[in-house]
């Protein structure tokens, strides 16, 4: 027999038992054992199925919330980076911010702006040397070739991927540590050759082809419009 005090508490607050999943599972299991092996308790089976569906629903709910928080955090990062990028008042400060605080805000290990040029001796320009490795001048056609890994085709405007064999020549001494990259093709205006903004990471999972590209496309759109003003 149940102790009188415990029995009185159960009778006074039966809903507390109903809210406790472990207690209810124990009661259902005890009921099934009392029925014997030759009797099927359809109500117990239905309860188990409902419980499994509830568990899956809770897992999905947690995943949706986690994805929403992650997306919000990414949006806030990009917004901060855009404000930092718009603050400089001259081109050298703009490029310094890009490789400095903007890179830190976006948590990337390396940032590079790639501009195509028809001039073969552009690397000797003292302005380019002063800007360092953040700005790279390449021959015409390089951007499309790098984006498509040497294949013919228009390619996408934003590409996320693991580094390819082309990275060794592009990153130079940094190539060994870089594992993934985000490539954003830039439209610098009528009459100008295309450019490319590169975010590179030592984390192989930071930029994957399965990730969304909306935020990077927005950042690239702001960046290319800013570049048009500097080039003008």
Q: What is the pLDDT of residues 73-113, one digit of tens each?
A: 778 888 999 999 999 888 888 888 998 999 999 999 999 99
Task: Report residue 152's pLDDT band, with 50, 70 and 90 as the boundaries.
Answer: low
Mean per-residue pLDDT over the chain, rounded: 81
pLDDT of residue 111: 92
pTM for this predicted structure: 0.67
pLDDT tens-digit map of 176-226: 889 999 999 999 988 889 999 999 999 999 998 888 888 999 999 999 999
Q: In which band, very low, low, confident or very high, does the pLDDT at 120 lie, cut at 50, 70 and 90?
A: low
User: In the chain, what's the furthest Cα-to-Cα distance?
Assistant: 97
Residue the block writes with tokens 């690397």? 123
**Structure confidence at residue 182 (pLDDT):** 93
* Residue 87, both tokens: 């603050």
Report percent pLDDT > 90 for the chain: 26
Positive or negative: CA dihedral 91, 95, 100, 105: positive
Query: How many residues does the structure list for the chain?
Result: 232
> Would you list the domain boundaries of the chain?
4-57, 74-231
Superfamily of domain 74-231 in the CATH hierarchy: GAF domain (3.30.450.40)
């Amino acid at each position: 027999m149940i102790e009188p005090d415990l029995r009185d508490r159960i009778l006074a607050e039966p809903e507390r038992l109903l809210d406790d999943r472990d207690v209810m599972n124990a009661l259902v299991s005890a009921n099934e054992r009392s029925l014997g092996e030759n009797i099927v308790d359809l109500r117990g089976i239905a309860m188990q199925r409902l419980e499994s569906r509830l568990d899956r629903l809770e897992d999905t709910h947690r995943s949706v919330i986690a994805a929403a928080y992650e997306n919000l955090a990414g949006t806030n990062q990009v917004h901060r980076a855009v404000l930092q990028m718009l603050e400089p008042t001259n081109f050298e400060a703009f490029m310094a911010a890009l490789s400095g605080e903007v890179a830190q805000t976006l948590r990337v290990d390396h940032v590079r702006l790639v501009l195509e040029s028809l001039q073969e001796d552009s690397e000797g320009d003292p302005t380019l040397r002063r800007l360092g490795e953040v700005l790279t001048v390449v021959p015409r056609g390089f951007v499309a070739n790098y984006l498509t890994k040497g294949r013919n085709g228009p390619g996408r405007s934003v590409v996320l991927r693991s580094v390819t064999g082309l990275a060794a020549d592009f990153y130079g001494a940094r190539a060994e540590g870089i594992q993934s990259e985000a490539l954003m093709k830039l439209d610098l205006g009528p009459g100008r050759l295309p450019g490319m903004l590169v975010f590179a990471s030592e984390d192989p999972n930071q930029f994957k082809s399965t990730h969304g590209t909306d935020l990077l496309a927005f950042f690239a759109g702001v960046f290319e419009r800013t570049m048009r003003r500097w080039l003008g």
